[in-house]
Structure 1
Amino acid sequence: MPALDGMRVLDMTQYEAGTACTQALAWLGADVVKVERPEVGDPARGAFNSSTDSEYFVNWNSNKRSVTVDLQKAEGRQLLLDMVPHYEVFIENYGPGVI
């Protein structure tokens, strides 16, 4: 059984620093759910002018599930607040004031 089997991680990271961390947790067996913006998702999906999910995105986000939440809307912010208590770990790498 993987070391982190059963651990739930809510991932609100973008690009390498955060996604490498949550990917390592996923490799160790954690159930990682990545929260993305509507329509565009993680900016890395279109990295290097990719018309589909870029290899960069796929590489750093393997073994994760994704959900779309619109944090620009009150309903989306409330949904995020409702989700957090169901996870043992919450990781984000946004600038100050975004969340």
Structure 2
Amino acid sequence: MISTYSRIGLTTLTKSSSSLTTTTVRPLLLANFTRGIKTIPQPPGYIVGTVNDAYVPPPPHKLEGSLHWTSERIVAIGMLPLVLAPFITGGGWWCFDFN
């Protein structure tokens, strides 16, 4: 395969020297890449156990559990009068009043 650079004369490497560098550099790159792969042995597909194992729920967290959702409900109920007040008093239709 002829590269674009060799067609316009920008390369200085001959065919023999370029193939020499790729054959010496490629094994070094592969050796560095494969060295880090085998450091942690893991099961195939990261699957631990079987389908019939019991479900282990995550540990409870204070901000992600029922206390958090209870406080969300309290805030939502507290905002209901603020949301419903314009509709009850009749002041919520200003955007439709074209006169």
Superposition TM-score, scaled by structure 1 size: 0.16
As a proportion of its length, which structure holds more helix? 2
Q: Structure with the greater relative contact order (CA < 8 A, sep ≥ 6): 1 or 2?
A: 1
As a proportion of its length, which structure holds more strand? 1
Larger Rg: 2
